[in-house]
Structure 1
Amino acid sequence: MRESVSSILISGDEFFVIQRQNYLKAFPGYYSFPGGKVDKADHEHAIDLEVEGVENYLLVSLRREVEEELGIDIVELYKSGELLGISRCGTAITPDFNPHRFKNHYFKIFLKSKVDLIVDEGEAQKAFWINAKNALELYKSGEMLVVPPMISILDDLASNIGNKEAIDPNLKYNSSTEVPLIRPLGGVNQFLPLSNTFPPANRTNCFYIGDEDSVKVVIDPSPKCLEEYEKLKYSLSQFKVDLIFLTHHHPDHHQFSTSLAKDLNIPMMMSADTEGRILQKYGIDYFEGISVKLAKDGEILTTSCGQNVKILETPGHDEGQLSLLRTDGAWAIVSDLIQTVGTVLVGDEEGDMNKYFASLRAVISLSPRTIFPSHGIGIGGTNKLEETLKHRLVREDQIHKLQNQGMGPEQMLLDIYPELPARLHKYALLTINCHLKKIADYGLN
C-alpha cells in the first residue's frame, strides 16, 4: 500500500492548515495539512533526527515534504532550537470501499514560534494559522470540507493541542452490518450504500441533513439489494428520520425508498414530475400507504447548522430533478447535475440539453462553497460545474460542425468517440441526439 506523510505545524494554541485549490484533481477545496507521498528513495537516506517509535524513512519523507511544501528544514529548525519536538499524531488508512488507498502518517511538529512559510499558491487557495478550537467550530458550522481522519484530528487538537499520544483517526464501521458513513462537513452526513447505478460509479450518496429542532431528511436512499437495504436501515437507526426526499425518478435514487418509508412510517417528498414518472414506470400503487408531498422550487425544506436549506429545480438530466442549497451558500446537493465518478447522461425523453445548460449556469451563479453530487465525493466551489458546462459547449460546437458536414448521429458517434466500447454507444447516441435537438430548437450556446 502506498504511504504518505502529513505535517501538523503547531505553535501555542494554533496550528497551520491549507485549503486546496478548487481546480485540483484530488480533493479539490478540502482543508488539509501539508505533506505528500513517501518516495522509494526516502528508504535509502539518513536523517540527523530521531523520534521515538518513528521509522527513519518516514522522518526523511517528512523532512523532504515540509521543505518542498513550506520552504523550511525541520532538521535545521531542531538544531536552532526553533523546533521543540515531533510526535506521531496517528496513522489513517483509506477505507476499503475506496479503490485508491493510502496509509497516511500524521505528525505533530511543535514550534517555538510561527516561522515564515512559503506556500505554493498553485496548490493552496488559503494557508493560515488557526486556533484549534476555532478550527473545530469552523468544521462543525459546515464551512470546512475535510476527509474523515481530519475530524478526529481536529477533535484532538481542540481538546489538547499539546497531546503527544497517538490517536486512531481511522473511519470506523462494520461492513457486515453497516454502510459507510462520512461527515465531510458539519451538518452533512453522507451514507455510501452500494446501488444499481451506471458504471464506473457503484454507489449513490444517501444524505442525512436537518438540525435537532428541524425536519430530519434522508435524501435518495437507494441500496442495490435487500442485504444492502438492511445495512442502510441499521445505519440510519441511530438517527431520527422525519422525511425521505427524492431528487429525481431514476431508480438508482429511489430503490427501496418506499420500503424505508413504510418501515419508519414517514412521508416522502419529490417533484410532481418525479412522482408522475415513477407511477408511470412502476405502477400506480408504488407509493401505496405512503404520504407523498410535492416539492416546490424555492421552498424551505429544513435547516442545517442554523441555516435554511432551500429546494431548487435543476432539470436537464431529468425533468423533475431537484437540488438543495444551504441558503448562506455553504453547500449545495446537486444530485446528477454533475458527477465526480463517471459522467452525466443527458438524453432520452426526460433529458433536455437546453435546460441542463440553464441548470448548470443557475447553480454556478449561486456560488456554493461546496458541491455534493449523487455519485462521488463532495468538492470545493463551482469549478467542476464550470468545466462541465465548458466541455458540453465544446461538444455542442463539434456536433454542429459535423452536422454541417452532412453527418448523421451514428457517424458523429464514431468521429467523436472512436474508442468508446460498443456497449456504451446507445448512451452516447442519446446525448448526441439531445445536443442536436437543443441546436435545432435554441441554436448554439
Structure 2
Amino acid sequence: MERPAMPPAKIIESVAAVFCYQGEIFALRRQPYLQAFPGYESFPGGKIDRDDPDLPHPSPLLREWDGKRMHALVREVREELGYDLPAGIASGQVKAVHYLAKALAPPVVAARFFLHVFRIDLETRPVFSADPGEIADCFWKTPRQLLDSFERGDALMVPPLRWVLQALERDPQGVAFGDLSPRFDEDRFVISFEQLSDVRILPVPSNTFPPVKRTNAFLLGDPGAPRILVDPSPESPQVLEKLLRTLEPETLSALFLTHHHHDHHEHVPQLARRLGVPVWMSDDTRERILKKYGSDYFTEVRLEIRREGDELTRWKGETVRVFEIPGHDAGQLALAPESLRWFLVGDLIQGAGTVVIAAPEGDMAAYFGTLERIIALDPAVILPSHGAPMRGTHRLRETLRHRREREEAIHRLFVSGKTKAEILDTVYQGVDQQLLPFALLNIESHLVKLRREGRI
C-alpha cells in the first residue's frame, strides 16, 4: 500500500526584483550557510512577512500592484541591497515596474514558495550595498551569461529562475511572462528537476527515516557515456510504476547503490529486471543486502562491484569516479567528477537533521574521518540523498563541529557516572520522542569510539 497522503505543504508567498539596465540584469549568489537555497544564484527578494502592510503602496509605479507584495519588495530591496526603491522612483532612476511572472514550487518541499517576480527598469545603474550576511557575491550580467554559468555546471539555480532568464533572453523587453510554475502529474510520474546542470534529481517517495518522506534518485551521464540512476527506492509497487513511466524516455546503463539501507534500494531488483540493466554497488553493500533480505533478493539481476577510483560515467566531459565514504554505512560509496564541482554523498549528511551512526554498519570514528576527508577535498556542491543540493562544505563542517561537541558532552557525562539513559535525557533534550531510540544509537557509537581511543 502507498503511504497515506501527507498534508499539503505550507505555501509561503515571496517576492523577487529583476533590476534591468541596458540589457543586463542584477543577480546574486546567496551565502552557503543559509538554510534556504544555500549558495544558489538568485534575484534580490524574500518572503512576504506578516507585518508587511496590506495597503496600497503610496509610491508611484508601485501603488497599482498588490500592496502587501509591494511593501515586501521595498523592504527586501532595502534590507538586502541598501537601496531605497521609492526614492529611486522619485528621482527618475527607476523608469518602470512590471509584474513579470509568478511561480509556485512543486509539492515535494516542506515549504512551497509562491514567488512573485517584478521587473524594475532603470534609467541609470544604482550603486547597491549588498548585505554580506545573506549575499556572497553579486553581479550585472546578461541573461545568457547567467544561463551559461548554469549550463557549464558552475551555478546552482532553481528552475523558475532559469525560466525567467530564458524568457528574458527570448524577449529582452518582455514585461509579462505569466505563470512559470512547473507542471507535474504526480498521479502518473515521479517529479524531476535540475538545480545543477545535467544532474537530474527525482525525489522518489520512499520508506525512509522520519520525518523525511523521499529519497533523491540522481540521473547522471553525458550523451554517449553510461547513463546511470543512483539510489532509486520507490516505497511501493505503485510508485515503482510511476518511476518506470518517468524513465521511459531514458536509455539506462545501470542502477547504482550508494549503500545497503533499504530506503536506497527498495524495489531495485524489480526495477533492474524491468529495465534490463545491472546494479552497481560496493562488495560490503552486496553482502549486507543479501544477508538481510536473502540470497535470492537479486535473482536474475547482474551485480557488479564498484570500488574507490572506479570510473562510472562522464559529466560535462569529466570522468565521474567512485569514492569510499564509510561511517554511516561501512560500504557507502560517493560519486564526484574530476573537478569536484559536485560530490554526491548519499547519507553522509541530510538536508535537515543528522544521520544515524549505528552498529554494526556504522562507525563514529570512520564517520569523523570521512567528513574530514571530504572537507579537505573542498567540493563546490554537496548532493545529499535527502534534501536539496547545497554549495560548499559549510554543512559538512557544521556537522563535524556539532558531532565533536556532542561527543565531548557525552564524554563528560559518562565519566561523571551518568547512564546512557541519563545522557540521552541531557544531550537530546527537546528531540521528538519517536527519534530518541535513534539518538541512543548515536550515543552508543560515540561511546564505542571513546573506548577505542582509551578515553573511557
Q: Does TM, scored on the shorter chain, surpass 0.5?
A: yes
Q: CA deviation at 1:52?
A: 9.9
Distance 1:311 1:222, change over 3 A: same
Matches of 1:182 and 1:151, distance apart in 2: 12
Aligned counterparts, 1:2-41, within 5 A: 2-39=12-49, 40-41=51-52
Q: Deviations over 1:101-143 (max 9, x none)?
A: 2321011112133221110011111111122111111111221
Q: Secondary structure at the match of 1:43?
A: coil
CA contact (8 A) 1:200 1:342 kept: no
Number of the residue aligned with 2:411: 400
Task: Choose 23-32 or 329-338, whichever is displaced more.
Answer: 23-32
Matches of 1:409 and 1:278, distance apart in 2: 30
Q: Deviations over 1:226-267 (max 9, x none)?
A: 111111111111222111000000000000111111111011
Task: Choose 405-414 or 348-357, whichever is displaced more.
Answer: 405-414
Query: Which of 66, 77, 84 is 2:77 aligned to?
Result: 66
1:166 aligns with 2:177: yes
CA contact (8 A) 2:101 2:116 kept: yes
Distance 1:294 1:124, change over 3 A: same
Query: Which of 251, 254, 259 is 1:243 aligned to?
Result: 254
Matches of 1:225 and 1:342, distance apart in 2: 25
Matches of 2:13 and 2:439, distance apart in 1: 39
Number of the residue aligned with 1:323: 334
Q: CA deviation at 1:420?
A: 4.0
Distance 1:136 1:349, change over 3 A: same
CA contact (8 A) 1:178 1:232 kept: yes
Distance 1:419 1:75, change over 3 A: closer
1:80 aligns with 2:91: yes
CA contact (8 A) 1:20 1:125 kept: yes
Distance 1:429 1:134, change over 3 A: same
Task: Choose 74-83 or 107-116, whichever is displaced more.
Answer: 74-83
Aligned counterparts, 1:37-186, within 5 A: 37-39=47-49, 40-50=51-61, 54-186=65-197
CA contact (8 A) 1:47 1:60 kept: no
Matches of 1:407 and 1:72, distance apart in 2: 55
Matches of 2:222 and 2:306, distance apart in 1: 20
- Count matched residues: 444
Q: CA deviation at 1:180?
A: 1.4
Matches of 1:441 and 1:199, distance apart in 2: 31
Query: Which of 277, 287, 291 is 1:276 aligned to?
Result: 287
Query: Which of 432, 440, 444 is 2:451 aligned to?
Result: 440
What amino acid is the match of 1:29? G
Matches of 2:454 and 2:228, distance apart in 1: 40
Structure 2 residues not aligned, in runs of 5+ = 1-10
Number of the residue aligned with 1:224: 235
Query: Which of 249, 252, 255 is 2:266 aligned to?
Result: 255
Number of the residue aligned with 1:369: 380
Q: Secondary structure at the match of 1:177?
A: coil
CA contact (8 A) 1:136 1:158 kept: no
Q: Secondary structure at the match of 1:44?
A: coil
Number of the residue aligned with 2:439: 428
1:351 aligns with 2:362: yes
Task: Choose 380-389 or 112-121, whichever is displaced more.
Answer: 112-121
- Return the TM-score normalized by structure 2: 0.93
CA contact (8 A) 2:326 2:367 kept: yes
Matches of 1:399 and 1:268, distance apart in 2: 40
What amino acid is the match of 2:23? D
Q: Deviations over 1:151-196 (max 9, x none)?
A: 2112113333322232432122101101111211101100011100
Structure 1 residues not aligned, in runs of 5+ = none
What amino acid is the match of 2:340? G
- Return the TM-score normalized by structure 1: 0.95
What amino acid is the match of 2:370? S
Distance 1:123 1:41, change over 3 A: closer
Same amino acid, percent of matched pairs: 37
CA contact (8 A) 2:231 2:258 kept: yes
Q: Secondary structure at the match of 2:204?
A: coil
Number of the residue aligned with 2:6: none
Matches of 2:94 and 2:426, distance apart in 1: 60
Distance 1:396 1:240, change over 3 A: same
Q: Secondary structure at the match of 2:205?
A: coil
Distance 1:215 1:167, change over 3 A: farther
